[in-house]
Amino acid sequence: MIEVEGIIVSERDYKDTSKIVGIMTSTHGLITCIAKGAKRLKSPLRSTTGKLTYGKFQILYKEGKLSTLIEADVINIFKKIKTDIVCISYASFLVDLAEQVMKQNGNSEIYDLLIAGLKKIDDGFDPAVITNILELKYLDYLGVMPVIDCCAICGRTDSISTISARRGGYICNHCRQDETVVDERIVKLIRMFYYVDISKISKLDISSSVKNGIDKFLDEYYEDYTGLYLKSKQFLKDLNKIV
């Protein structure tokens, strides 16, 4: 029996009354558990086995096999997130993304970043910006981080004029070919996003055009270098067209 802090990143029905849940933890990575009877009306697990449940879990743990969830105590219900369709859509995408990243790299920081990001969204910070920050940071754990400290082509640190997903990061004036010169704030903020401590963010004031530019770069970069396709990301794009 172990007790772990974690967050439920996936759930699916199992037979008539139970569930299979995926729990991301900092100490044991991803744990797949059966939550027996969790669909029963009177089960104490009914309200604590949904996606985005962040808490402490008592688990009959079997490494590499299906474990059994015994009890769950919620740490944070993420009230703001769960009552806002936009926030919950971004949060759902982030847990999907974090799950896929952790499957490729078991570093506990992946979990820590996810929890820090969700807390900021729940505190009312712009979910689109927090999402982009995590997307950028997670590229490091996928082993495909763009070059953001110098020109991706020649290594110069001066005269940086734009950023290109196709060419792998920053591009200086000397190496720029047909790349569009983006707003310099996009170039600066992408680097800032990578180095910022999410838990210490106290203010986010970014224009829509700059946010859209950063999001466009990250979408293109993920498509070119990661091979990840998440339905929750497409849902976000569709949602942003109507809100």
Q: Which domains does the chain have, with CATH numbers?
A: 2-77 (2.40.50.140), 80-240 (1.20.1440.120)
Predicted pLDDT of residue 207: 94
Report the interhelical angle of 231-240 vs 85-104 (nearest 10°): 150
What angle is formed at CA 109 by the lines to CA 205 and CA 150, rounded to 5 degrees? 60
Predicted pLDDT of residue 208: 93
Predicted pLDDT of residue 186: 96
pLDDT tens, N- to C-terminus, the chain (243 residues): 999 999 999 999 999 999 999 999 999 999 999 999 999 999 999 999 999 999 999 999 999 899 999 999 999 999 999 999 999 999 999 999 999 999 999 999 999 999 999 999 999 999 999 999 999 999 999 999 999 999 999 999 999 999 999 999 999 999 999 999 999 999 999 999 999 999 999 999 999 999 999 999 999 999 999 988 888 888 888 887 776
Predicted pLDDT of residue 115: 98
Q: Which of 39, 40, 33, 78 is nearest to 58 (CA)?
A: 33
Q: Is 243 exposed, middle or buried (0-12, 13-18, 19+ CB in 10 A)?
A: exposed
Predicted pLDDT of residue 241: 77
Asked whether the beta carbons of 11 and 1 are under 8 A apart, the reply is: no
Q: Which of 41, 221, 46, 42 is nearest to 144 (CA)?
A: 221
Cα 25 from chain centroid (whole Å):
14
Tell me the two tokens of residue 185: 């704030």
Predicted pLDDT of residue 4: 97
